[in-house]
Amino acid sequence: MPSTKTQASRRLSILSTEEVDSLYGLPHLNDGERHIHFDLSPKERETIDAARTITAGVHLVLQLGYFKAKAQFFVIGLDHVRPDIAHILTRYFPGRLMAEVGALSKPTRLAQQRTILELLDYRMSGATTSKR
């Protein structure tokens, strides 16, 4: 008789949970990586400055930095990225408070993703993102 563990999981596991998270999970940036990934070109800065709200601006920088780090997009829960938001506020929105940054609507998030792809000269091709 097969064991319960074998019956419960018949899928082959090549990567550990930590390895899967490292590849596909939200980036966990240190201070040096924040300076690199959240660094904005003049064109990126112009796009951020055109954001209508502090929430939109901060999320755009977050998504842009995370895309630069992992070439993928994430649905971002603010509780998980507070150090990154603090860095962005200090660097690009001095005098603004963490409490001013709220959740982003799905249509705005998707519009920002299209903007990021355009800024970085990427295009969507099916389920993947590739450089032009």
Q: pLDDT, tens digit, for every residue of 79-127?
A: 989 999 999 999 999 999 999 999 999 999 999 999 999 999 998 766 5
Are 111 and 56 spatial neighbours (Cβ–Cβ below 8 Å)? no
Taking the C-alpha atoms of residue 92 and residue 56, their distance in angstroms, rounded to an integer, is 13
Top-confidence residue, 35 or 26: 35
Q: What percent of the chain has pLDDT over 70?
A: 87
Residue 4's pLDDT band (boundaries 50, 70, 90)? very low
Whole-number pLDDT of residue 16 = 85
pTM of the predicted model as reported, rounded to 2 decimal places: 0.81
